[in-house]
Structure 1
Amino acid sequence: MANLLYKLGQIFAKHKWKTIISWFVVLGIIVAVLGVKGINFTDDIKMSGLKSLDTSNKIEEEFKQDSQKGSIRVVFKSDQEKGIVTPESQAAITKVLAEIKKSDDKIESIANPYEAKTISPDMTTAFADISYNVSALAVNEKSIDKVKDALNGMDDKNLQTEMTGNVMITPMDIGGSSEAIGIVVALVILIIAFGSVIAAGLPIITAILSLGTSVGIIAIISSYFEMPNVTLTLAVMIGLAVAIDYALFILFKYRQIIRTEKNHLKAVGLATGTAGSAVIFAGITVIIAVCGLSLVGIEFLTVMGLASALSVLFAVLSALILIPAFIGVFHKKIKPQKEKAGKKGDNIWTKFVVGKPLIAFLIAVIVLGGLSIPFGSMELGIPDNGSKPKDSTEKKAYDILSDKFGEGFNGPLVILADTSEKGSAANLATVTKHISGMKDVAIVTPPMPNANGDYALITVIPKTGPTSSKTTQLVHDLRSYAKTADSKYGVNMEVTGQSAINIDMSQKLNDAIPVFASVIVVLAFILLTVVFRSLLIPLTAVLGFVLSLTATLGFTTMVMQDGVFSELFGISTTGPVLAFLPVITIGILFGLAMDYEVFLMSRVHEEYTLTKDNTHSIKTGLKESGPVIIAAALIMFSVFISFVFAPDPMIKSIGIALGFGVLFDAFIVRLTIIPALTKLFGKGSWYMPKWLDKVLPSMDIEGHHLKDKK
């Protein structure tokens, strides 16, 4: 591998313009295809294998419904007492609904609130449901704009209008401004690290080209496969961060090599062959980790993992192809890394960690342990419109409906009752009465039978909102009562509704965490055992990963659920932690943590192989690999944390988890706990049974096979 990369690095640097132009041609083709296909992401997060989802599908079949069709709920609110039922308001609302119906042939029907009686008890608020004859995905921006345009003049009639529904009313925000902030901060860090604007700019340029290519392909694929919009956001986050880091590693190595090697082509080959090997290993590790999300058995996580893997793949390719090419263009402007005065001595951090390893270890464990405490009370949930940005129309509509119709109105529960058994239909009224008397039930509608009379629907409005723990308990209580309804009254009950589906999704994701985490931990141990020919080094790496993971999830719980630092991060609504966040964090943080473990400990291992001096090897690793790990981690942090400025709380939570996860793992685990434990264990850190050493494959990620070329 090292020899192949050595040759490829020289080829790309020698034929620099052909290489760069070829990449731009590929990117141009992708943009052209994207212009034809468009972007087709969805707000929905779906999964199969849920009883509540099966029940929902059965309702569609038995009651001839189609939940895939688009719908918009327009909310009208008057500030005047009983203002929604005045003749002026009725005339204005009826007129605007007629205009909306006439403006778009995709609209099948509109339920007038005065006919459907969808008016709040205080008569200040009403809503109209717009039903489309096409799927929610087919209700495009043009159709939504027609509704918005028609509603624009309602303010003049003292009527506030807001919109919600299963279509994408607010355009998707993948964090464009957030990306810009992350890139600017990354550029500043690179300028400090390299002392050169040109050298600092190369990782940024390659990252942007890499991201443009991978994101373009993902967007094209969205035309053929259903993808939640958070898929693209996650791919952008990871792709941008690792693309900058991988380019940084190769460029950093190149600047070290040209201190002694004056032929820039040979230096590029050596840098690509050595650091490039580590980049490939790091990239494969991250790709395996994110593809491992498919092991959870949840479709949208599989899609998110594969999309992220694609962005990481192009990050690796851009580092191996474009960095050598750009070095070929700017090699005269890229200066060798300078030896700083006094660099041969140990810095303060190295003296502390290696000189007092037990104290360093204990302090680090106490810090991570303290941050992990909130993890024990973490609650998981699926975001709804109540967690949207406070200035979005969906959030405003949610709040108005919650205030005027009750908190549970935004998350009704639906009960499908099988009344095919003899006598069950007569007992259904008794069952409905029992349900209405249950704790935290606000309203129960009379049973609505289907055409055949063998099924009936009962709608239950909880007293609490969709993400409330009381609503979750009500779902469990209804399912418990279903056993009584079946055995005593012959009524078979199944509970569904979006709230019930979200609760089941959260539970399935929660159940997947231990299995997925176990697979990741075992994988990490095996990979590191092969790389470092040691048992203790992989063990400490895995335990360190577990510590940084629990600290990360604890900190995220503290912010997103408990509201600590919520104002600092611009979080207006607290609630359960995003249900799939722990699984995503495990997969991605594992890949990034192993990157830093390899970049640090491979240098320590290389030095120990030469000197057999454990203390000297640790100091050398911290001195030579420490600075690049610090720069890489700060870049990762700046990219991830910049997404906190995105308006969507779901994106904020991912940014917080990944940003602080990288920070905790790089600085507290990799640069503190790992070297401290390696020092404490002494030569035992490198113990490996001879029989195991013989059977394990050899992996050269340091480019030892290139020694004859140096």
Structure 2
Amino acid sequence: MASLLYRLGRLSFRQRRCFALLWVAVLAACSFAALSAPAAEEDGFSIPGTESQKAFDLLDERFPGDNAEGADARIVFAAPDGQKVTARENRAAVEKVVDTVARGEQVKDASNPFAPEAVSEDSGTAFATVTYSASGDDLSEATSAALLEAVEDGRAAGLTVEVGGSAVDGGPELGGITELIGIAVAALVLFITFRALVAAGLPLVTALIGLGAGVCAIVAAGMSTTTITLALMLGLAVGIDYALFIVSRYRAERAEGQGAEEAAGRAVGTAGSAVVFAGATVVIALAGLSVAGVPMLTDMGLAAAGTVVIAVLVALTLLPALLGFFPQAVLPRTRRHAPASAAPAVGRGKEPAGSRWARLVVRRPLATLLLSVAGLGIVAIPALDLRLGLPGDEAQPTSTTQRRAYDALADGFGPGFNGPLTVVVDAKDADDAKGAAARARGALSATEGIAEVSPATFNKTGDTATIAAVPSTGPAAGATKDLVRTIRASAPELKAETGASMWVTGQTAMNIDVSTKVTAALAPYLAVVVGLAVLLLMVVFRSVLVPLKAALGFLLSVAASFGVIVAVFQWGWLADQLGVAQTGPVMSMMPIFLIGVVFGLAMDYEVFLVTRVREAYVHGASPAQAIVTGFRHSARVVVAAAVIMIAVFAGFIGMTDSMIKMLGLGLAAAVLFDAFVVRMTIVPAALALLGNAAWRLPRWLDRILPDLDIEGEKLTRALAAEPTSPREESVNA
């Protein structure tokens, strides 16, 4: 593979104009396709195979038209302290707001805010539900403006008026000032690393081109905007890092006396091979998210995987082409006018920080290893309290009207009012449908943990009924999860007595089911990822102990990042400083996301660090000296890559959406632990302790494993064996 990439790198360098124009054309085509594509339809959140989804599908079948995908808005009215919302003046103000909204062109229906079930017991709070004929994305600006203007009119009348629902939910955030700060930090790190403006700019340019093509392709493919978030994070981060590794290797080859074209070929053949390996592991891990069986999770994984593939292709083809345009400008100022064959002076200058750090670790490997593992173990302790869920409006900042509407309903009607359970009674096989529904309603009323039960509502054919059950606890509470289990456990008894089936659905039940399903998929997914890591690294390093060490380090960094997430989002540590408005369960999909992404990044850093160590060992260095030599060449670049990753991911912490904030913090913490504690500290300490045993591979296993030449050893030997010839790149040098 290294030889193939070497030829590709030289071809891209020579035919730089063709490759540059090709990528401009690709970006233009993707942009045009995205602009021409119809707006993606939001398919809604579905979890095939779960009881809540089966019940929801049954409602679609038995209550046709009732579950249309139109947007809704719940307008909540609260009277001033000491007053009632039913007082004459307040009542008139409420009715005026509702009437104004109801006259909108896209409004399908508006409920009575003074129906008995819509007014709290103390008459201090009331609400009206407005349903629209169009989805939230299809609501016109006039419709949205009319809703907000009516709300402001209600506030002007002295009422507290807030609104929630899909009609006011914005789309996913795709960026912001904090993300721009992350990109700025990445640019600064690149400049400090290379001390050349062009060298610092090329990774940013190529990453943004790849990201633009990837995001446009996602939109053109008709995927919903919710799939873009993870693709945006990863596409930018890996795009910069992959280019960073190749540019760094190009500069190293030039420093060793290679001409521009030859250096570009060798950089793509060696560092590019590692980029392909790292990209492949990320793609496999992201595509593997489909094992959870959650369509939204699968779509996000595939979209992000596609963006990573584009980032790899850009790094292998566009980057060497751009190096052809700026062969000298990417070099340090002192090397730009040196002859192509000039070799760097040896032994001059201060020893690199990477070498000094490696010597320090190798000098005390056992103490360093124990201290690092203990530190990560302590950070991981909060992960033992990990609770999963899907946060709703309760996780929104208190500055949003959605959150204030949620709190007003919880204060006026009880914490469970925001998460009612929809109990579906399928009485098609029952002798007495109404009797079966009454029996189910009676059982629900007698169930501990249910605050209120509505009368049964039948469909037109009279064979299916729905009953709304309001829990006494909030949607994310553990007691609500236990309540759902209790109701479902009573279904067989109802079936035996009446012949009717009973199902529990609704947003709260669906959130519980998706958490259960993702949790069940977590262990097998982790086993597959760890097994894949061990196998792939065996192929790369021709070793058994090195892959096992890498896998254990990966598990440590993942556990520590889980600890950070639980400490912040469940326990509330630093919640105010990080803008976390409400503590609660961790997003259900967060752990499996984190495992997949961190796996790919961990293998990335492992390959770039350890390949240099192995290269020195193979050339005769002692195990300890090989570690120092390897870190001299690779530590600076890996540190820069990790800081860039952390800056990009941390930029998403500033978003208002709690799930994006959680994802950004989790990924930033994971990269911090994996790069600096595991790869930069535990890895050299473990290699020093293992000594020569680290690089042993049984002969029978060596014969079985394929040799992909990820490190480019065969390429190096082949190039070294070639007779010396005049450098073809002198015109470019």
Per the normalisation by structure 1, the TM-score is 0.94
Q: 1:284-325 CA distances to partner (integer Å, 9 max, x unpaired)?
A: 111111111122222111111111111111211221223222
Match of 1:267 among 252, 263, 268: 263
Counterparts of 1:304-315 in structure 2, within 5 Å, are 304-315=300-311
Residue aligning to 1:198: 198
Contact 1:640 / 1:658 at 8 angstroms: preserved in 2? yes
Mapped partners of 1:39, 1:187: distance in 2: 34
Contact 1:70 / 1:133 at 8 angstroms: preserved in 2? yes
Residue aligning to 1:294: 290
Shift of 1:43: 9.6
Q: After alignment, is 612-621 or 236-245 more displaced?
A: 612-621
Counterparts of 1:244-643 in structure 2, within 5 Å, are 244-261=240-257, 263-336=259-332, 341-343=349-351, 347-419=355-427, 420-422=429-431, 425-426=434-435, 428-429=437-438, 431-488=440-497, 492-611=501-620, 613-643=622-652
Q: 1:210-240 CA distances to partner (integer Å, 9 max, x unpaired)?
A: 111111111222xx34x361x2111111111
Q: Write the letter of the residue equivalent to 1:126.
A: A
Contact 2:431 / 2:498 at 8 angstroms: preserved in 1? no
In the superposition, relative to structure 1, how do residues 541 and 271 fare at CA in structure 2: closer, same or farther (>3 Å)? same
Mapped partners of 2:289, 2:580: distance in 1: 28
Shift of 1:430: 5.2
Contact 1:424 / 1:490 at 8 angstroms: preserved in 2? no
In the superposition, relative to structure 1, how do residues 40 and 154 fare at CA in structure 2: closer, same or farther (>3 Å)? farther
Residue aligning to 2:58: 58
The secondary structure found in structure 2 opposite 1:127 is strand
Shift of 1:567: 1.9
In the superposition, relative to structure 1, how do residues 39 and 430 fare at CA in structure 2: closer, same or farther (>3 Å)? closer
The secondary structure found in structure 2 opposite 1:568 is helix
Mapped partners of 2:483, 2:507: distance in 1: 14
Q: Write the letter of the residue equivalent to 2:127.
A: F
Q: After alignment, is 316-325 or 535-544 more displaced?
A: 316-325
Residue aligning to 1:79: 80
Mapped partners of 1:696, 1:140: distance in 2: 60
Counterparts of 1:105-120 in structure 2, within 5 Å, are 106-114=106-114, 118-120=118-120
In the superposition, relative to structure 1, how do residues 293 and 443 fare at CA in structure 2: closer, same or farther (>3 Å)? same
Residue aligning to 1:49: 49
Q: Write the letter of the residue equivalent to 2:715.
A: L
Contact 1:6 / 1:272 at 8 angstroms: preserved in 2? yes
Contact 2:178 / 2:652 at 8 angstroms: preserved in 1? yes
Residue aligning to 2:174: 174
Mapped partners of 1:323, 1:428: distance in 2: 67
In the superposition, relative to structure 1, how do residues 39 and 664 fare at CA in structure 2: closer, same or farther (>3 Å)? farther
Residue aligning to 2:95: 94
Q: After alignment, is 447-456 or 581-590 more displaced?
A: 447-456
Mapped partners of 1:371, 1:142: distance in 2: 51
Tell me how many residue pairs correspond in the alignment.
Answer: 705
**Structure 1 residue runs without a partner (length 5+):** none
Shift of 1:3: 2.9
Mapped partners of 1:123, 1:547: distance in 2: 54
Q: 1:43-80 CA distances to partner (integer Å, 9 max, x unpaired)?
A: 95432111111112212322332142322222233325
In the superposition, relative to structure 1, how do residues 141 and 591 fare at CA in structure 2: closer, same or farther (>3 Å)? farther
Mapped partners of 1:631, 1:346: distance in 2: 12
Per the normalisation by structure 2, the TM-score is 0.91
Contact 1:42 / 1:168 at 8 angstroms: preserved in 2? no
Q: Write the letter of the residue equivalent to 1:11.
A: L
Shift of 1:531: 0.9
Mapped partners of 2:558, 2:648: distance in 1: 19
Contact 1:110 / 1:130 at 8 angstroms: preserved in 2? yes
Residue aligning to 1:672: 681
Mapped partners of 1:469, 1:409: distance in 2: 16
Q: Write the letter of the residue equivalent to 1:58.
A: L
Mapped partners of 2:569, 2:42: distance in 1: 24
Q: Write the letter of the residue equivalent to 2:31.
A: V
Mapped partners of 1:344, 1:169: distance in 2: 52
Contact 2:5 / 2:273 at 8 angstroms: preserved in 1? yes
Shift of 1:328: 2.1
Q: Write the letter of the residue equivalent to 1:675.
A: P
Mapped partners of 1:38, 1:149: distance in 2: 30
Mapped partners of 2:299, 2:51: distance in 1: 22
Shift of 1:137: 4.8
Q: Write the letter of the residue equivalent to 2:4.
A: L
RMSD in angstroms over aligned alpha carbons? Answer: 2.4
Mapped partners of 1:166, 1:46: distance in 2: 16
Counterparts of 1:133-212 in structure 2, within 5 Å, are 133-139=133-139, 143-167=143-167, 169-212=169-212
Shift of 1:91: 3.5
**Structure 2 residue runs without a partner (length 5+):** 336-343, 721-733
Q: After alignment, is 139-148 or 466-475 more displaced?
A: 139-148
Shift of 1:262: 5.3
Shift of 1:159: 3.0
Mapped partners of 1:175, 1:453: distance in 2: 50
Mapped partners of 1:706, 1:528: distance in 2: 20
Residue aligning to 2:339: none
Contact 1:43 / 1:168 at 8 angstroms: preserved in 2? no
Shift of 1:540: 0.8
Contact 2:289 / 2:593 at 8 angstroms: preserved in 1? yes
Q: After alignment, is 276-285 or 51-60 more displaced?
A: 51-60
Mapped partners of 1:326, 1:8: distance in 2: 14
Q: Write the letter of the residue equivalent to 1:472.
A: K
Mapped partners of 1:661, 1:42: distance in 2: 31
Residue aligning to 2:235: 239
Mapped partners of 1:144, 1:116: distance in 2: 28
Mapped partners of 2:175, 2:700: distance in 1: 52
Contact 2:59 / 2:67 at 8 angstroms: preserved in 1? no
Q: 1:318-360 CA distances to partner (integer Å, 9 max, x unpaired)?
A: 2122322222222232224888723279844212221111111
Mapped partners of 2:441, 2:117: distance in 1: 22
Q: 1:392-428 CA distances to partner (integer Å, 9 max, x unpaired)?
A: 2222211111111211111001212244533574365
